[in-house]
Structures are given as structure tokens and as C-alpha cells.
Amino acid sequence: MIGSFLNAVIYRLPNNVSMKRTRSHCPSCDKLIFWYENIPILSYLFLRGKCSGCKTRISIQYPIVELISGIAGLLLMPKTFSYMNLFFFVFYFSVFECFLALFIIDLKHKILPNSINIYLAILLLIFGLIRFPVTHVIFGGGIGLLFPLGFTYLFYLIKGKVGLGGGDIKLWGALGLYLGIKGIVINIFFSCFLGSIIGVSYIVIKKMDKSQAIPFGPFIIIVSFVQIFFPSYFNEITRLVVGF
Ligand SMILES: [Zn+2]
């Protein structure tokens, strides 16, 4: 159900459709979607991926987001119940859903909406303060925001072009609150490295020319995902690559 809500966020936020109580309707023929056509995953199968009014194909993104969200919820579910476990479940699941929404919205529209970045920043601030010293949170957030900002300014002075989007910089600022100075600096280097590899391979296989911008958020999110959800695995990779 949260995956289904996330689909609405992914569709409505970049298209400036209100998140308030407006009923879902088909974007092609405006037909209202009945409750039984709005059941996560099952309705997509039952409708055979088509609108019941105009037979326009429904994007496969809808059931995929619902399925991924459901699986993530199951995997993150605490094995034993306690209020603390429940609290951490809400944290990890919310961060995961923010990542999923940002990933798809950036791929489709090349933007990272402020509202999701702010929501993520609040989550990471609260849990950063619970887990780490205040200095870890403040300096991590500060460096996450200022380091790429300074870098972008330098790039602008030299090249006369804006290299990174404001959304990327704000996302790094939010992530720094939880990852700390070392974590966010490693994140910036890893995501730039990953972005360059993918960017260059795209140019080489001529799917894209050099002047086109590639959405950068997905790279930041892939690196952060491993960093937050598989910290020991991530530290292992860092030790192999960077040596500390
Ligand atoms: Zn329709």
C-alpha cells in the first residue's frame, strides 16, 4: 500500500498535481479508477496492464514499485518486537522509500524534488542525532552541502557551466547528517566515480552526446543505499578501494 502511495508521489510531485484528496484517474481517458482497480500488484494483473476504459497500457513501473516496496518492508521487518525495533523499522523503510522515489523521479524528470529532500533530511537528522555525536551530524551535513557547492562554483568559474544540480547538492547535505564527514566525502567520490563510468560508457556507445546532462541522483542513491543498508559490506569495499 505504501508502494502504491509512492507511485502517486512519483507521478504527482514532478507534474505538480496536488497530493490532496483527488481521486486517481487514468491520465489518458480521465476515467476514475475504482477501488478494486487500485489494489497493489493484483489489479495490474487483473487488468492485464491496461486501463479498463481506454485500454491504454499502464506502466510496468506501478507494479514494480509496489513489489519492491513490499519486499523491502518484509526484509526490513524486525524479527522480535520492541518499540525500539519498530522505530528503526520506520526509519529504514522510510529512507528506502525516499530513495526509491528520488531514483525514479530523477531518471524520468531529471529533478530531485525539494519536498522529498527535506523529508529525508528530517529523518536523517533525527536518527543521526540518536546514533552519533552532535558534531558528526553537524559537520557531516555542512560538508555534504558546502563541498559539492564549492566544487560546482569552481567548475562554473572554469567552464562557465553549472555542473551539478541544486537537488544533488541538497541531497548530499541531507545524507551528510547521517553519514558524517568521512561517510559523505566517500559518498561524493564514489558517486562521481560511478557517474563518470556510466556517463563515459553511454557516450562511447553513442546513446548520448557529450553536451547532454545525465541525472546524477541515481548514482548518489546507489552508493548511499549500500552505505546505509549494508554498512559493513560498504566499509569492506572502501578498505579495498581507498585503503582506510
Ligand atoms: Zn484510460
70 vs 30, more confident: 70
For 45-77, the pLDDT digits (tens) are: 999 999 999 999 999 999 999 999 999 999 999
C-alpha cell read off for 91: 526509519
Phi and psi, residue 32, nearest 5°: -65, 145
CA of 229 from ligand 1 middle (Å) equals 39
CA of 58 from ligand 1 middle (Å) equals 9
The amino acid at residue 29 is C
CA of 24 from ligand 1 middle (Å) equals 11
For 85-99, the pLDDT digits (tens) are: 999 999 999 999 999
C-alpha cell read off for 144: 555534504
CA of 51 from ligand 1 middle (Å) equals 5
For residue 57, list its beta bridge partners: 50
C-alpha cell read off for 12: 504527482
The predicted pLDDT at position 163 comes to 72
Asked if 174 and 141 touch (Cβ cutoff 8 Å), the reply is: yes
CA of 2 from ligand 1 middle (Å) equals 23
Stated pTM of the model: 0.91
H or E stretch at 29: none
For 167-190, the pLDDT digits (tens) are: 999 999 999 999 999 999 999 999
Rounded Cα distance, 244 and 236, in Å: 9
Is residue 113's pLDDT more than 80? yes
Is residue 135's pLDDT more than 90? yes
Rounded Cα distance, 124 and 145, in Å: 14
Average pLDDT of the chain is: 91
Q: Residue 244: which pLDDT band, with cuts at 50, 70 and 90?
A: low
H helical segments located in the chain: 2-12, 42-46, 61-76, 83-109, 114-131, 134-159, 166-204, 217-229, 231-241
Is residue 220's pLDDT more than 90? yes
CA of 26 from ligand 1 middle (Å) equals 5
Asked if 100 and 65 touch (Cβ cutoff 8 Å), the reply is: yes
Rounded Cα distance, 218 and 108, in Å: 11
Is residue 209's pLDDT more than 70? no
Asked if 132 and 182 touch (Cβ cutoff 8 Å), the reply is: no
Is residue 226's pLDDT more than 70? yes
Q: Residue 161: which pLDDT band, with cuts at 50, 70 and 90?
A: confident
Where in the chain are the domains? 1-76, 79-244
